[in-house]
Amino acid sequence: MPSRLYDRPVAAALAGALAISFSGILFRAAHVSPSTGAMYRCLLALPVLWPLSRLEDRKYGPRPLRQHALAWLAGVLFALDLIAWHYGIEQVGAGLATVLGNLQVVFVGLLAWAILGERPSNRSLAAIPVALFGVLLISGIFESGAYGKNPGLGVLYGILTALAYSGFLLVLRAGNADLRRPAGPLFDATLVSGLTCIPIGLTIGNLDWTPGWPAWGYLLLLAWSSQALGWLLISITLPRLPAALTAVLLTFQLVLSVLFAWAILDESPSALQLGGVALVLCGLLIATTGRRQARVAGGKGCDQIRVHGLRLLGRAVVRQVPVLRRLRDARRGRGCRRGGSLEADVAACRRQGRGGRAHSHRRRRARPRAGRRPRARLARAGRRRAGRGQVDIVVERAALHQRRPDDATDHRRGVSGPGQAPRGAARRRR
């Protein structure tokens, strides 16, 4: 995938949400049956997803058979999701059916709790009654003259859509642990979903193999914009965004669906139905913002978060105080060894250093002083500068100032023994 998508995840996520928000509108504009729209939405997106999947296989290698099998199972669930959602659009409208279908945010937590044993957070549990009351308002049971052919049946299809969508997301997440390759699992799921829609449509009896030309145009736009581009952008960017921003983007997509359905398709829900939409959106916001906190806690309570924060604070203090940093290195057995040879000191400094280019403007002119051992002084300098990539300077000075125990040096007159370089040599070589 292009690196610009990773550099600008918010813009890419907004583009994906905008593309997906037109899905219901394009299906209504095509005037085809639910199974026909679901089949061609998937099959027409394959020419876009297949080259991207091949590029991922060449770059990262083939995926295991287990991941392919899970993606195929996710495709079956996605076919059920699309057909139920299209039936809901026919009964209650594109905007309201899209809002109902996104109840998967609530149902995913319940299914994960029942199947995987992952208990949702308290915020997610509190969001369930809020969202369900909004669903009751959308169904129109509290009023007469609610928008839609059969709002109650549309709500039932919406709940089935959310359940199938929840299973699709759980299975696809289990088979796609590698976030670097979103196109491969999406291609497998889309292929199997398109093939699954064929027997379902033949069983129901509303599958149309040759829709008219305006329908072909809308279906092609639906496949390329929503199924290919929108899904890829969402799957790439949302895992790299904070939970609060993810919730805002999710709400943005649902609000856009309702607004576009009102502006383009002349769908006008009643006041109570719009209030139900607002309650569902509030429930989705509560559930989505609570998921990242539960993931950080890891199911061990707030004490784990406090301990982790104190540990990070202690590490920051140790890095800033030199004495504590030296004690830490001595405790871990790192750093230069004073009792060893010069070569061992330099090797230890190289292991501790992080590499990089030596900064020539930071070099100092060091002269050997009488009565002090240059090797110990250079070892301390190596410990200080190893983290800044200046080990090469330490090696150079060690070669200049190394002396043997039996060498006699008179620093006052600038006369050196066989192992000691003259006083001006270091200055000339620098």
- The answer to whether the CB of 98 falls within 8 A of the CB of 23 is yes
**Is 262 found in the same domain as 383?**
no
Q: In this predicted structure, what is the pLDDT of residue 247?
A: 61
327 assigned to some structural domain: no
Residues 291 and 388 in one domain: no
Query: Residue 314: inside a domain, yes or no?
Result: no
Lowest mean pLDDT among 51-65, 165-179, 234-248: 234-248
Q: Which of 142, 128, 135, 44 is nearest to 88 (CA)?
A: 135
Q: What is the pLDDT of residues 327-344, one digit of tens each?
A: 566 655 544 444 444 455
Q: What is the pLDDT of residue 367?
A: 52
Q: What is the mean pLDDT of the chain?
A: 71
Residues 99 and 194 in one domain: yes
Confidence at residue 196, expressed as pLDDT on a 0 to 100 scale: 93
Does residue 178 share a domain with residue 31?
yes
* Token reading at 207: 């599958």
Place 403 in a pLDDT band, splitting at 50, 70 and 90. Answer: very low
Asked whether residue 257 is assigned to any structural domain, the reply reads yes
Indicate whether 274 and 347 sit together in one domain: no
Name every residue whose Cβ is closer than 8 Å to that of residue 207 and which is 6 or more positions away in sequence: 33, 35, 36, 39, 197, 198, 201
Residue 309 clears pLDDT 60, i.e. is over it: no
Spatial CA neighbour of 103 closest among 28, 39, 156, 176: 156
In the chain, % of residues over pLDDT 90: 10
- Look at 203-212, 259-268, 330-339, 401-410 and tell me which has the smallest mean pLDDT: 401-410
Q: What is the pLDDT of residue 294?
A: 41
Assign 46 a pLDDT band (cuts: 50, 70, 90). Answer: very high
Please give the pLDDT value at position 323: 55
Q: Within this chain, do residues 250 and 191 fall inside the same structural domain, yes or no? A: yes
Looking at residue 378, its pLDDT comes to 56
Average pLDDT over residues 217-230: 89
Is residue 39 over pLDDT 80?
yes
**Per-residue confidence (pLDDT) for residue 80, from 0 to 100:** 92
309 within domain boundaries: no
Q: CA angle, 319 as apex, 315 and 324 as ends, to 5°?
A: 90
In this structure, is residue 152 part of a structural domain? yes
Domain ranges, residue 386? 334-406+416-429
Judgement on whether residues 92 and 220 belong to the same structural domain of the protein = yes
- Two structure tokens written together for 369: 């002083």
d(CA 133, CA 155): 12
User: How far out from the chain centre does Cα 124 lie?
Assistant: 21
Pair (283, 370) in one structural domain: no
* Structural domains counted in the chain: 2
Where does the pLDDT of residue 356 fall: very low under 50, low under 70, confident under 90, or very high at 90 and above? very low
Tell me, what's the pLDDT at 126?
Answer: 80
Those residues with Cβ within 8 angstroms of residue 39's Cβ, 6 or more apart along the chain or in another chain: 194, 197, 198, 201, 207
Q: What would the mean pLDDT of 30-49 be, rounded to a whole number?
A: 90
Residues 254 and 357 in one domain: no
Mean pLDDT lowest among 97-111, 178-192, 260-274, 302-316: 302-316
Considering the domain architecture, whether residues 292 and 353 belong to the same structural domain is answered as no
The pLDDT assigned to 40 comes to 92
In a domain, 80, yes or no: yes
Instruction: Report the pLDDT value the prediction gives residue 165, as an integer from 0 to 100.
Output: 84
pTM (predicted TM-score): 0.60
Is the model more confident about 80 or about 2? 80
Q: Could you tell me if 66 and 210 lie in one domain?
A: yes
Predicted confidence band at 137 (pLDDT cuts at 50, 70, 90)? Answer: confident
Task: Name the band, by pLDDT with cuts 50, 70 and 90, for residue 21.
Answer: confident
The reply to whether 43 and 186 lie within a common domain is yes
Q: Which residue has the tokens 């394009």?
A: 26
